[in-house]
Amino acid sequence: MQLKIALLGGDGIGPEVLTESVKCLQAVAETFDHSFTYSKALIGAAAMKKFRTPLPDQTLEIALEADALLFGTIGTLQYDNNPSSPIRPEQGLLRLRKELGLYANIRPVKMFPEIIKNSPLDRALVSGTDFEIYRELTGGIYYGEKKLSDDGTVATDICTYSEKEISRIAHKAFKAAKKRRKKLTLVDKANVLETSRLWRRVVKTLSESYPEVTLECLYIDNAAVQLLLNPTHFDIILTDNMFGDMLSDQGSVIIGSQGLLPSASIGEKHCMFEPVHGSYPKAEGKNKANPVASILSTALLLGHFGMKEESRAVIAAVRKSFKKKIVTPDILGSSKYGTDYVGDFIADHINDID
């Protein structure tokens, strides 16, 4: 297969972990005889430095022309400490998602038995955890109109959802549930929010078209608790943009490190793959960031294009790195291995499938 892949490293540790992902994709290309070509582009604070905008036209062009995007991370301490800056790195990512129509963000949370002792939670509780969060990605309060009164004393954010925005991702979530354990959990705050009530109504109506899937509805505060106390209860979780942001970071706690969770963002025409974790500015350039979340994102990319065996080979190589303890210090405190060494190990083991 031929694929044009855009590489948007972004800020912080993004470019570093992306380098390791490209090594893995190249190992896949060689082992399985595919041809992947890459174009790099700037986004976020890195783009603002050079182009004064977090999403330059040439970056958007490269993104629109690619078959798939690999994304790093976004945000720097400079802007985190100054959230009132009128132009911000995150705006680049938010606009990119919107321009590419990437409305469905899929975040698989799967416990790897090799590193189960890394979870701060009871082993018996988390063993067998295997769920996917379907987070709506281009609507809700993150995209709604923002206002600040002229005197700067009153601020407003607007959260809006339409039936169409809800049903298109809900269909994707129901279809995914059908292929898995046939359970879908809608997470909302329908006892308080009007948008949540619309989510519930739309999803309940849609569920009639998926009679084999069991639908349950949970309030977000309860879901956040149940996710920790009973993670194996969940199969597919469907939720809005903000609730999904919060829940998926909790997913990383369950499996023991923020450096492990990959994600896929899917629209009608485009697709993008990125780690769930943030830009971790303190680790930038120190060769200690965990590349696994980004590498597992390439496994999602390969799976998305039907390359199932290739996807499995990447995951198998990652698990081999766990088994051999070739991991970054977030996984094993005493580990001396850096980002690049772990990436090399995983890439090197993609071709030696047992």
Phi, psi dihedrals of residue 297, rounded to the nearest 5°: -65, -30
Sketch the per residue contact string, 250 through 269, with a copy of itself: x for CB under 8 A, - otherwise. Answer: x-xx----x-----------
Q: Which is nearer to a copy of itself, 201 or 324 (CB)?
A: 201
> Of the residues 130, 249, 340, 348, which is catalytic?
249
C-alpha–C-alpha distance, residues 205 and 227, integer Å: 25
- 263 or 328: CB nearest Mg ion: 263
- Does position 120 interact with a copy of itself (CB under 8 A)? The reply is yes
Q: Cα 107–180–297 angle (5° rounding)?
A: 30
* x-or-dash string of contact with Mg ion, 179-218, rule CB under 5 A: ----------------------------------------
The closest of 244, 241, 267 to 140, measured between CA atoms, is 241
Find the binder of a copy of itself among 23, 88, 107, 288 (CB under 8 A): 88
Q: Which residues of 32-63 are buried (b: 16+ CB within 10 A; e: fewer)?
A: eebebeebebbbbbbbbeeeebbbbeebbebb
Alpha helices (H) along 180-291: 194-207, 220-229, 241-255
The tokens for 124 are: 């018996």
Q: Which of 142, 143, 280, 337 is labelled catalytic?
A: 142
Amino acid, res. 114: E
**Nearest-approach distance from CB 32 to a copy of itself, in angstroms:** 36
Segment contacting a copy of itself by CB under 8 A, of 20-28, 59-67, 119-127, 325-333: 119-127
Per-residue contact track with Mg ion, 245 to 284, x per CB under 5 A? x---x-----------------------------------
**Considering the complex, what minimum distance in angstroms separates the CB of residue 19 from a copy of itself?**
25
Shortest Å, Cβ 145 to a copy of itself = 9
Compare residues 142 and 337 and give the one whose CB is closer to Mg ion. Answer: 142
Residue 180's alpha-carbon distances to 133, 164, 175, 214, 296, in angstroms, are: 13, 25, 9, 12, 20
> Does residue 249 carry a catalytic annotation?
yes
CA distance 286 to 133: 31
Q: Is 57 one of the catalytic residues?
A: no
CB distance 132 to 108 below 8 Å? yes
74, two tokens: 């976004």
CB of 307 to a copy of itself, least distance (A): 31
Measured in whole angstroms, how far is the alpha carbon of residue 105 from the centre of its chain? 7
21 binds, among Mg ion, a copy of itself, none (CB under 5 to 8 A by kind): none
Judged by CB under 8 A, the stretch of 25-33, 162-170, 262-270, 333-341 that binds a copy of itself is 162-170
Is 292 within 8 Å of 220 (Cβ atoms)? no
Q: Which of 281, 248, 254, 257 is nearest to 335 (CA)?
A: 257
One of 50, 155, 334, 336 touching a copy of itself (CB under 8 A)? 155
Q: Is 221 in the site for Mg ion (CB under 5 A)?
A: yes
For a copy of itself, the closer of residues 105 and 196 by Cβ is 196
What tokens appear for 73 in the block? 């991370």
- Select from 61-69, 128-136, 183-191, 321-329 the region that touches a copy of itself (CB under 8 A): 183-191
Catalytic residue selected from 189, 235, 341, 344: 189
Taking residue 274's Cβ as centre, other Cβ atoms within 10 Å add up to 27
Helix (H, G, I), strand (E, B) or coil at 208: coil
**282 annotated active-site:** no
Instruction: Assess 197 for contact with a copy of itself (CB under 8 A).
Output: yes
The Cα 249–Cα 44 span in angstroms is 21
Q: What is the contact surface with a copy of itself in residues (CB under 8 A)? A: 75, 79-80, 83-84, 88, 90, 94, 120-122, 125, 141-142, 146-148, 152-164, 189-198, 200-201, 220-222, 224-225, 228-229, 242, 245-246, 249-250, 252-253, 258, 278
Q: What is the contact surface with Mg ion in residues (CB under 5 A)? A: 221, 245, 249
